[in-house]
Structure 1
């Protein structure tokens, strides 16, 4: 049947009808007073979501673009940078830093495990010469479903004095990311995750401490020069042509989020996570990330001995439900269930029921029929 596609991946995520309708409006001039009013409202909404008094800048870019901007505006070539690397995206930020000539030291953990904050503490405390200029951490590692202990790592970074630069692409809007309370200097995110709108917008918040570092940062930049974004945002505008209709969508989506409230958003995502993980285990499958460090955005599943791609193909073919695959060495070995943004209890129940049928169809029936749905429903009923 047409138009029944169901996204259960960690991005892009489902888009609410009122957000889609907002995008369908006729565009307006991005230098008009009307657009400036919208930018003023959106900026206030973003500061609310980021939990910051700092400005948050909208870029016509993906989350990767937002992170690149968050690196090159505040760090110089040759500067020493610690980068947490326990998945595809931590690895990516190390590569971006190396591309710009930064002196990168990777703080590694195996894929599927969380970064150890004590390793950061040891390295930072040993740096008495203050050579480390920044620490870069992916909060929710999308490739593995691991949530790193950002709060503790940031506390060690703050004590040292380096910049704390954060990939919050799949954590912002899915779990608590109190930018100011945790002392986060640069926080980047993207529109197609917890924000519930299509890809195309990146967001960056910047602290006063980071702006001080900007004055000495010499890496050439033009489109991603955040000083230009800062200057223009003071006038409720942007330095270059923005995707106007995505800004309309952002306004509508953030309005929905404010009506739901931060605590309700976080509790909903935790509920969806707990239900998904309980259901997966009830079906005899293994969750890839440990319970204590599970992302509230995505659950990675190890279905061995069943092929992960066989499951994804059957889910797509028989139920028109999209699950995400593994990446790099884990391609074909794990699959990932997204449960962030515009996702609610019934979406998880639907996906788990389809997964049960898929497993049975592939000859994996070592569970009581309905066990997955029953486990998920129990979480919802007890929440």
Structure 2
């Protein structure tokens, strides 16, 4: 038997409390019992998103919430500025183009964060831009973009649409205070659920735009969905079991306290980066790292796919590989959601052993010790 450790940035581990909640006997979704659970979850989501506006719960992936944002806020032929610095920046581009928008791409080197002054210059060159689309945390490159500073540029201009799929519940993303117009996330990251729920919140300015936007939508008609969810119901059949799990997961986050949740993610991320550095490995995003996952550049001569196979099949440890041009060149170790100090130590210890198996010069325990020094902060 090999015990399994899921240490990839999504799906992430699901706590026993959430599993038990999802195993609740199925109920009808048009009942007072469901409405009560749904209402309580909706209120807790507002706290997580740092907004007084509705956070809509969709039976979809996070990508569905991204598509809902685009289809409800723009009209055919309008221009949007897309910060494209990774696989999920590319996803904003593809969604926009699929709906007939003109996507002006601000391309950023993978592993780097976009520079605020470059965004500002693009907005001056293209004053007709109707929206800025960006990731808070670009999961594919483990980069954190300066969303708060960019929100200052868009506060009285184009709408700012933020993919917070590996940011919400990981670090503060203060929708109302910062001036984010649209914020989306998904269930299978920091919310500690299986895939299947998308979440989207719009501020008043964005809701006003939905009144004039002309792109087609049916299932993702957010005005219809808001009308129903304000009555603690849904426009279409919801993912009932996932809603039960969501209620339990939000209760867990509330019990821990968001400040402690954010501090935990930061500490796990710093410990992972310290371990990689101690092992002489290069970080993919050393300047603006995300606290959700750490990208590590592999030494020459080691193929990432082969390394990940050994980790998964012989040690039971699952990391994520690189995507597109980074495939085979990096690995991504997650520390998001239901994870703690000993998940990091398992990750680092397994990585050391795998590197040694591939004849890379590594001193066993060196990375683990570096991680432990950081993790002791929560104990001393």
Question: Number of residue pairs matched?
Answer: 377
DSSP-derived class of the 1:240 partner: coil
Q: Is the 2:189–2:337 contact (alpha carbons within 8 Å) kept by the matching residues of 1?
A: yes
Instruction: Provide the residue aligned with 2:140 in structure 1.
Output: 143
Question: TM-score scaled to structure 2, two decimals?
Answer: 0.97
Instruction: Provide the residue aligned with 1:40 in structure 2.
Output: 39
Q: Is the 1:23–1:249 contact (alpha carbons within 8 Å) kept by the matching residues of 2?
A: yes
Which of 294, 297, 303 is equivalent to 1:299?
A: 294
1:181 aligns with 2:181: no
How many Å apart are 1:213 and its aligned residue? 0.6
Superposed, 1:264-283 pairs within 5 Å as 264-283=260-279
- Distance in 2 (CA, whole Å) between partners of 1:335 and 1:132 is 36
DSSP-derived class of the 1:203 partner: strand
How many Å apart are 1:368 and its aligned residue? 2.8
1:202 aligns with 2:198: yes
Q: Is the 2:353–2:364 contact (alpha carbons within 8 Å) kept by the matching residues of 1?
A: no
- Distance in 2 (CA, whole Å) between partners of 1:382 and 1:231 is 46
* Post-superposition CA distance 1:31-50 (Å, at most 9, x none): 00111111110000100100
Instruction: Provide the residue aligned with 1:370 in structure 2.
Output: 365
DSSP-derived class of the 1:181 partner: helix
DSSP-derived class of the 2:134 partner: strand
How many Å apart are 1:379 and its aligned residue? 0.6
Superposed, 1:73-222 pairs within 5 Å as 73-127=72-126, 130-159=127-156, 161-222=157-218
Q: Is the 2:295–2:332 contact (alpha carbons within 8 Å) kept by the matching residues of 1?
A: yes
* Post-superposition CA distance 1:355-376 (Å, at most 9, x none): 11111111112x3321010000
Q: Is the 1:302–1:308 contact (alpha carbons within 8 Å) kept by the matching residues of 2?
A: no
1:230 aligns with 2:256: no
Instruction: Give 5+ residue unaligned stretches, structure 2.
Output: none
- Distance in 2 (CA, whole Å) between partners of 1:382 and 1:262 is 18
* Post-superposition CA distance 1:136-167 (Å, at most 9, x none): 011100001000010011111114x1101010
- Distance in 2 (CA, whole Å) between partners of 1:184 and 1:191 is 20
- Distance in 2 (CA, whole Å) between partners of 1:5 and 1:32 is 39
Instruction: Provide the residue aligned with 2:15 in structure 1.
Output: 16
How many Å apart are 1:187 and its aligned residue? 0.5
Instruction: Provide the residue aligned with 2:70 in structure 1.
Output: 71
- Distance in 1 (CA, whole Å) between partners of 2:369 and 2:171 is 25
DSSP-derived class of the 1:132 partner: coil
How many Å apart are 1:329 and its aligned residue? 1.1
- Distance in 2 (CA, whole Å) between partners of 1:71 and 1:186 is 10
Instruction: Give 5+ residue unaligned stretches, structure 1.
Output: none
How many Å apart are 1:126 and its aligned residue? 4.2
* Post-superposition CA distance 1:9-28 (Å, at most 9, x none): 00000000000000111111
- Distance in 2 (CA, whole Å) between partners of 1:303 and 1:81 is 36
- Distance in 1 (CA, whole Å) between partners of 2:375 and 2:155 is 38
- Distance in 1 (CA, whole Å) between partners of 2:83 and 2:283 is 22
How many Å apart are 1:52 and its aligned residue? 0.5
DSSP-derived class of the 1:249 partner: helix
- Distance in 1 (CA, whole Å) between partners of 2:342 and 2:364 is 19
CA RMSD of aligned residues (A): 1.0
1:355 aligns with 2:351: yes
More deviation, 249-258/226-235: 226-235
More deviation, 300-309/132-141: 300-309
- Distance in 1 (CA, whole Å) between partners of 2:125 and 2:95 is 25
